[in-house]
Amino acid sequence: MGNKAENQINDEIYTGVVPALKKDRIYDSKAITIAAAGFGVASWCYVQGGWISSLLPFHLAVIVSLIPMIVFGLLMMLCVIIPTRYGIDLWIYQKAVFGYGFCSILCIVAILTNWGWYAVNSNVFANASSTLLKMAGIPVSSAAIPWLGSLCAILGLVLAMKGPHLVKYATYIMVPCLLAVGLLLLIKTMSTTTLTDLMNSKPMYADTYPSTKIAFLCMVEAMFGFIFAWYPVLGSMSRITKTERASYWGQSAGYIGAMAFFVIIGVVSSTLMGNLGVYSTDPTDWLAHLGNPVWQAVSIGAIALANITTQTLGCYCLSLATKIFKPSWDYRKIAAGYTVFVIAMIFWQGVWEYYNVFLAATAVIGAPACAIIVVDYFLVRKGNVSLRSMFKIKGEDSYEYTFGCNIPAVISFALAVASYLFIYDPLNYVVRNETLMKFTPTGIAFVVAGLSYFLMCQIPAVKAYVLRDAKEAEVKYPEEGVEA
Amino acid sequence: MKKQEEFLEVLDQEIESRIKTIEASDYEGVPEFNKTDGILSAVTIVVCIGILIFTYNFLC
C-alpha cells in the first residue's frame, strides 16, 4: 500500500468506520474516565440542576440528581462493551439488531435530536462569554448572543477536526481544572448559606405538578432522559478504549459520577438563588451573585471551557456515527454540516422553549434502543455476531431481514414508545396513568422493549429469523478461563 | 472518481483484513467485563432502586 493510501486508512481508524484493533486503542481507564467526564460536564448539568431545584425541595432534588442516573446509566453502559470488544461503532452493531434500514432511520432521528443539547450548551457559552466581556468593560447587545453561541460551535468543530488524540490531551488539562473549579464553586456557594436554609427553601415552581410525589416521579423521569441522551454517542470513544472494564467503569464514572456532581452544584446554586428571589437555569446568573469579580471570572470562564470541550467531543462522536450511512463520506465535511445545523438551532432558540419535550424525545428513543441492544447481544445472540454482514463484506447481508428491518426489534421499539405515551404526555406535562407513572414512562418503555424482544425471540421461528447470521463465520469470544 | 473507487477498494480490503484479525481472537489477555463486574453493577442498581422507592414513599 502506498504511503498516501496508508495515511488515509490510518485516518479512517479514528475518523471513520475501520475496526480498531488492539494496537489502535488510545484510551486506558484513566483517559476514558477523563474524556467521558470532559464530554459529560457542561452547562447542561447546571441547566438540569436548576430546573430540578425549581420543582422539588432541596433534599429530593439532590437525590434525584444522582440516583436515577446510576440506575439506568449502569444498564445503558452495558452497550459500550460491544464497541470495545470488536473495535466498531455501536451504530455498526445496531445494523444486526435493527436491520440495515431501520438502523439508518434510528440513527438519523437520534443524531438530529441529540444536537439540541449542543444548542443548549452553545447558548450558555454565549451568555457566559457575554458576562465576561461586560465584566471587562465591553458591552454586548442581546443580538450578539446567537453569534457568540455560534463561536462555541465553530471552536468545537475546529478541535474536532484534529480527531481523538488531541481531544485526549486537551481533556487531561481541562477536566481536572473543571472539577477543581466545580468543587470550589460548591464550597463557595455552601459557605454563603446553611443546609437548614437550603432544606427549608420552597421550590419556585412547586405548583407545576399536583403533588410532590408526582413532581418527584417526573424529575426522576427527566433524569432518565438525561442519561439516555448519551445513546447516540456511546460507540465512538468505546471502540478505541483498551479494555472492556475500563470502557464500562470509566465511562460510568464520567457520564454518571462527574455529571451528577455538577447537576448537584446546579441544584445548590439555583436553590440559593431561589432564596434570593432569582430563578434562572443559566449558571452565569448565579455566578454573577458570588460577589468576588475574580471568582466570577474564573467560574464563568470554566463554564465556557467546559462547553467547548463538550462541543468538540459531540461533533466528533456524532460525525463518526453518521459515517455508517456511507463510509466514503468525508468526516470533516460531515462535522462542518452538523455545525451549520447546530448554529441554525442556536438562532432558532426553540430548544429552550421545548426543553421538556426534547428530554422526552431522547428518553423515548434511547431507552427502548438500549434495552433491545443489550437483550439482543447478551441474551439472544449470546455474543455470536457476523462482522462481515455488518460491513457487507463480499455480499454478506444477513441483517437485511425484511426490507431492512428486523421485525421483532421494530415491534418491540414501537410497543415501548406506545407504552411511554400511554403513561405520560410530555407536551402538556400530563400524567395519563398514575399507577404506571410510579415506575416512570422510561422505566416502563425500557422493560417493555427488552422483555417483548426477548420473549419474541424465544419462539423458534422468530429466533431463526433473527439469528440468520448463524450460518456465517461467527466471532466467538474466548470463554473465561479458556485459553484462546 | 477513479481515485475514490480505488480508495474504497483499499478500504474494503483493510476492513476485511481487520475482521479476519478480530475473528482470530485479537483480544487474548484483555480483562473482559466479567461476572464480578456484572454482579457489582446489578447490586448497585438494586440498591439505588431501593433508595428511590424509599424516597417516594417516605420522603415525598
Q: What pLDDT tens digit does each residue of chain A (484 aa) get?
A: 456 767 777 788 888 889 999 899 999 999 999 999 988 888 888 888 988 999 999 999 999 999 999 999 999 999 999 999 999 999 999 999 999 999 999 999 999 888 988 888 888 888 888 888 888 888 888 899 999 999 999 999 998 888 788 878 878 888 888 788 788 778 877 887 888 888 888 888 888 888 899 899 989 998 998 899 899 999 999 999 999 999 999 999 999 999 999 999 889 888 888 777 777 766 667 666 665 777 777 777 777 888 888 889 899 999 989 988 888 888 899 999 999 999 999 998 887 777 777 778 888 999 999 999 999 999 999 988 999 999 998 888 999 999 999 999 999 999 999 999 999 887 777 889 888 888 899 999 999 999 999 999 999 999 999 998 876 645 555 444 444 3
pLDDT of residue A375: 97
Q: How far apart are CA A91 and CA A61, in angstroms?
A: 34
Give the torsion through C-alpha atoms of B47, B48, B49, B55, to 10 deg. Answer: 110
What is the interface size between A and B, counted as CB pairs within 8 Å?
Answer: 119
pLDDT of residue A483: 40
pLDDT of residue A469: 83
Residue A202 · residue A227 · CB < 8 Å:
no
Q: Does B54 touch chain A (CB under 8 A)?
A: no
Residue A472 domain-assigned?
no
**SS3 (DSSP) at A19:** coil
pLDDT of residue A471: 67
The total of structural domains in chain A comes to 1
pLDDT of residue A290: 61
Residue A380 domain-assigned?
no
Contact assignment for A477 to B27 by CB distance below 8 Å: yes
What number of other Cβ atoms are within 10 A of residue A157's Cβ? Answer: 22
Contact assignment for B52 to A71 by CB distance below 8 Å: yes
pLDDT of residue A484: 38
Residue A466 domain-assigned?
no
CATH number at residue A33: 1.10.4160.10
Residue A343 domain-assigned?
yes
Residue A147 domain-assigned?
yes
Residue A402 domain-assigned?
no
Mean pLDDT (whole number) for B5-27? 84
Task: Please tell me the pTM assigned to this model.
Answer: 0.90
pLDDT of residue A472: 61
Out of B28, B52, B59, closest to residue A484 by CB: B28
Out of A243, A391, A477, closest to residue B31 by CB: A243
Out of A21, A60, A70, closest to residue B18 by CB: A21
Out of A211, A394, A475, closest to residue B23 by CB: A475
CA distances from A197 to A270, A276, A288, A355 (A): 13, 11, 21, 29
Q: Does B1 touch chain A (CB under 8 A)?
A: no
State the nearest Cα–Cα gap between B15 and chain A, in angstroms. Answer: 6
| pLDDT tens digits along B23-58 | 887 555 566 888 899 999 999 999 999 999 999 999
pLDDT of residue B29: 53
pLDDT of residue A150: 94
Comparing C-alpha atoms, which of A258, A235, A254, A255 is closest to residue A81? A235
Q: How far apart are CA A343 and CA A39, in angstroms?
A: 19
Which residues from chain A sit within 8 angstroms of residue B25, using beta carbons? 476-478, 484
Residue A313 domain-assigned?
yes
Q: How far apart are CA A324 and CA A317, in angstroms?
A: 12
Mean pLDDT (whole number) for B2-30? 80
Return all residues near A120 (Cβ < 8 A) that are at least 6 apart: A43, A44, A47, A351, A352, A355
State the nearest Cα–Cα gap between A83 and chain B, in angstroms. Answer: 12
Residue A345 domain-assigned?
yes
Q: Please tell me which residue of chain A has the smallest CA distance to B16.
A: A393
Range(s) of the domain holding residue A95 = 28-353
Contact assignment for B60 to A212 by CB distance below 8 Å: yes
